[in-house]
């Protein structure tokens, strides 16, 4: 009986270890590739199979939903569409406001500019917006948004490396786009 109990404890430990390993992998940020379980170029059907139906959607110029919002996971997923690219609808850009997703050297929401620079280098473009600024690492495919007057990361985005990324500006026809990032 004590041996059976010991085997049960070991099996339980393996299961718990495997479970936390899966959670750690699903919370990783890989520049130019993925945030958590969602990868760039993933078809919309796979996103829905992985995360379920979105909490909210936004429709822009294509007339189709361009962005899915998953409030519980604090993810915003932007899609390309056949009307624009003649390819199946797939993930083009991913944003998060959750510190549950972690990049190189532990960089996450709340990390400082110095921590981002130590992990990703100084080769980025600084873009100013109304009430925020962004560190664009275009060659890596990752961006870090900070509130004006702060050097703390509030949003992390992943996109295809060396591919132009639209940055919302005051001229953007979409009203209050920034509010969509609030979870």
Residue 10 has pLDDT above 90, yes or no: no
Tell me the average pLDDT across 164-182.
44
The answer as to whether 78 is a domain residue is: yes
DSSP of 142-156: EEEEEETT--BEEEE
pTM: 0.74
User: Any idea what DSSP says for residue 28?
Assistant: B
Q: Are 102 and 142 in contact (CB under 8 A)?
A: no
Q: What is the pLDDT of residue 13?
A: 39
At residue 139, φ and ψ (nearest 5 deg) are -65, -25
* DSSP 8-state secondary structure symbol assigned to residue 32: T
Q: Reply yes or no on whether the pLDDT at 29 is more than 70.
A: yes
Q: Which residue has the tokens 């962004």?
A: 134
Q: What are 98's two structure tokens?
A: 């959750």
Tell me what pLDDT residue 164 has: 57
- Provide the CA 52 distance to its chain's centre, in angstroms: 17
Over residues 1-11, mean pLDDT: 42
165: which 2 tokens? 């990324």
The answer as to whether 14 is a domain residue is no
Q: What is the mean pLDDT of residues 34-56?
A: 94
Q: Report the pLDDT averaged over residues 36-52.
A: 94
Do the domain assignments include residue 18?
A: no
| Sign of the C-alpha dihedral computed for residues 43, 99, 54 and 79 taken in this order | negative
Measured between alpha carbons, how far is 50 from 60 in angstroms, rounded to an integer? 24
Residue 9 has pLDDT above 60, yes or no: no
pLDDT band of residue 172 (cuts 50, 70, 90) is very low
**How many structural domains comprise the chain?**
1
What six digits make up the tokens of 36? 């958590």
Domain that holds residue 141: 28-181
Q: Quickly count helices (H) and strands (E) in the chain.
A: 4, 11
CATH number of the domain that residue 147 is part of? 2.60.460
Asked whether residue 163 is domain-assigned, the answer is: yes
């Amino acid at each position: 009986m004590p041996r059976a109990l010991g085997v049960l404890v070991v099996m339980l430990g393996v299961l718990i270890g495997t479970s936390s390993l899966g959670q750690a992998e699903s919370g990783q940020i890989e520049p130019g590739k993925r945030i958590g379980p969602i990868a760039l170029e993933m078809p919309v059907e796979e996103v829905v199979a992985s995360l379920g139906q979105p909490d909210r959607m936004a429709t822009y110029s294509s007339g189709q939903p361009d962005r899915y919002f998953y409030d519980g996971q604090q993810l915003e997923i932007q899609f390309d569409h056949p009307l624009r690219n003649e390819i199946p609808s797939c993930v083009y850009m991913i944003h998060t406001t959750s510190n549950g997703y972690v990049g190189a050297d532990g960089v996450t929401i709340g990390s400082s500019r110095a921590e981002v620079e130590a992990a990703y280098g100084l080769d980025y473009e600084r873009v100013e917006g109304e009430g925020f600024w962004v560190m664009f690492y275009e060659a890596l495919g990752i961006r870090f948004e900070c509130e004006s007057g702060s050097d703390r990361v509030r949003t992390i985005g992943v996109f295809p490396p060396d591919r132009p990324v639209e940055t919302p500006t005051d001229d953007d026809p979409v009203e209050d786009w920034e509010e969509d990032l609030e979870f």
